[in-house]
């Protein structure tokens, strides 16, 4: 458990081969292993967690248009049953109703609302409102660029960059263990989102996938982890894809950082970014297993779902993406699974 201790803001996120520019206070920096990883090399996530659903039935009703397409891992009939989904459609919106046994999609040409379900539910939609039950997990509104996490009803901005759809704010979903507010202050969670250990970010207990645990089984495909249904923790390769979508790695810091909140560089010039793509990375800092927090206003660190796969580091390190106030680039590097970083979810 992280203790309540807020240390000076002089430390920044760990730099790779940073030489004399590194802070002398090594105890406040994330632990890392230097990597020969190249952004030109495609790196795939070693594992994943699939979105969890239920075997219950789901029903969606809408009110004005006629196009329906079906997808399912099992047979589907319009009549519906305990392992099927029924859709009646007639409005100008897109709805996806997802469970472990069936999936049915209705779409039209003017707007899109995607509803991800974690268990059986009844949803009614009209052009003016969406009524949903508490068993639903998320609602994505493509027209208004918002994601509603129905686990706690928090609403996040979203942004499309290239062919990816990202949360444009840090996740602030409180888990039972493994997530923290900077300085143990709820005020910081409200502004910057929560900080998560790697095991919590990938949706696993510490005694299974935390620091020192090898062969963490995340399954195949996307790793949903702490993200709402229909979204997932990005792999290292998906962060790399984002870098190239905003121009290149050397400019990613400028392009992705928010336009305010960052400390000035050592030469007195602004450490803020241009935020040209609306990603709005805030300098949320980091948390550490000794109870300390560091680098608020100086760095932004985000987990990926990708573990380091060398013999020793596999049990200790995972890849993260980080931005620094004094630099214009973005970086991917190895960080201790004990560190607590921000999470940005990516749409499936």
DSSP string across 179-220? EE-GGG-HHHHHHH--EE-HHHHTT--HHHHSTT-------S
Distance of alpha carbon 136 from alpha carbon 345, whole angstroms: 18
Query: How much is the pLDDT for 101?
Result: 37
Per-residue pLDDT, 39: 39
Please state, for a pLDDT cut of 90, what percent of the chain lies above it: 55
Burial of 266 (0-12, 13-18, 19+ CB in 10 A): exposed
The pLDDT of residue 273 is above 80:
yes
CA 277 to chain centroid: 17
Among 205, 222, 226, 199, smallest CA distance to 318 is for 199
- Average pLDDT of the segment spanning 131-155: 83
CB 280 within 8 A of CB 260: no
262 within 8 A of 273, measured Cβ to Cβ = yes
CB 50 within 8 A of CB 217: no
Tens of pLDDT, residue by residue over 205-242, are 999 999 988 778 898 899 999 999 999 999 999 999 99
pLDDT for res 216: 86
Between the alpha carbon of residue 329 and those of residues 179, 248, 257, 262, 294, the distances in Å are 27, 9, 10, 14, 20
- Residue ranges per structural domain of the chain: 19-48+169-347, 58-167
Averaged over 328-332, what is the pLDDT? Answer: 95
Distance CA 210, CA 233 (A): 16
Place of tokens 């009614």: 124
Instruction: Judge whether 233 and 303 are in contact, CB under 8 Å.
Output: yes
pLDDT band at 133 (very low <50, low <70, confident <90, very high): very low
Q: CA 131, CA 249: separation in Å to the nearest integer?
A: 42
Question: Which of 58-62, 80-84, 257-261, 343-347 is least confident?
Answer: 58-62
User: Residues 27-62: pLDDT tens digits?
Assistant: 344 544 444 444 344 333 333 333 333 333 333 333
Cα separation, 299 vs 345, whole angstroms: 19
* Per-residue model confidence as pLDDT tens digits over 178-214: 999 999 999 999 999 999 999 999 999 999 999 988 7
Banded pLDDT at 98 (limits 50, 70, 90): very low
Higher pLDDT, 274 or 81: 274
pLDDT at 206: 94
Q: Which residue has the higher pLDDT, 287 or 78?
A: 287
Using pLDDT thresholds of 50, 70 and 90, give the confidence band for residue 313.
Answer: low
Note if the pTM is more than 0.75: no
Q: Give 51-66 as a DSSP string.
A: PP--SS-EEEE-SS--
H or E element: which one contains 142?
A: none
Eight-class DSSP state of 282:
-
| pLDDT at residue 312, rounded to an integer | 60
Helix (H) or strand (E) holding 154: strand 154-161
């Amino acid at each position: 458990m992280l203790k309540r201790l807020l240390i000076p803001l002089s430390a920044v996120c760990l730099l790779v081969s940073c030489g004399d520019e590194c802070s002398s206070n090594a105890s406040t920096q994330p632990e890392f292993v230097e990597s020969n990883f190249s952004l030109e090399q495609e790196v795939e996530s070693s594992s994943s967690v699939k979105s969890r659903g239920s075997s219950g039935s789901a029903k969606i009703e809408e009110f004005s248009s006629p196009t329906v397409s079906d997808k399912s891992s099992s047979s589907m009939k319009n009549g519906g049953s305990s392992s099927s989904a029924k859709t009646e459609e007639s409005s100008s919106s897109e709805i996806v109703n997802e469970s472990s046994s069936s999936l049915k999609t209705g779409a039209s040409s003017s707007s899109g609302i995607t509803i991800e379900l974690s268990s059986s539910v009844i949803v009614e939609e009209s052009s003016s409102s969406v009524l949903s039950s508490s068993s639903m997990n998320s609602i994505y509104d493509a027209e208004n660029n918002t994601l509603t996490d129905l686990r706690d009803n928090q609403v996040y901005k979203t942004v499309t960059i290239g062919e990816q759809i990202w949360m444009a704010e840090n996740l602030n979903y409180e888990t039972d263990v493994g997530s923290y507010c900077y300085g143990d202050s709820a005020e910081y969670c409200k502004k910057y989102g929560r900080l998560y250990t790697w095991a919590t970010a990938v949706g696993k207990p510490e005694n299974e996938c935390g620091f020192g645990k090898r062969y963490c089984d995340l399954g195949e495909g996307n790793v949903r982890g702490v993200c709402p249904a229909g979204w997932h923790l990005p792999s290292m390769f998906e962060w790399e894809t984002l870098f190239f979508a905003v121009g290149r790695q050397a400019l990613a810091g400028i392009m992705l950082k928010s336009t305010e909140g960052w400390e000035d560089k050592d030469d007195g010039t602004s450490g803020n970014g241009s935020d040209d793509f609306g990603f709005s990375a805030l300098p949320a800092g980091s948390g550490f297993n000794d109870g300390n927090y560091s680098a608020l206003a100086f760095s932004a660190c985000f987990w990926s779902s990708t573990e380091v796969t060398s013999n020793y580091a596999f049990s200790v390190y995972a890849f993260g993406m980080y931005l620094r106030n004094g630099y214009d680039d973005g970086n991917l590097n190895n960080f201790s699974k004990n560190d607590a970083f921000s999470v940005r979810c990516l749409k499936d």
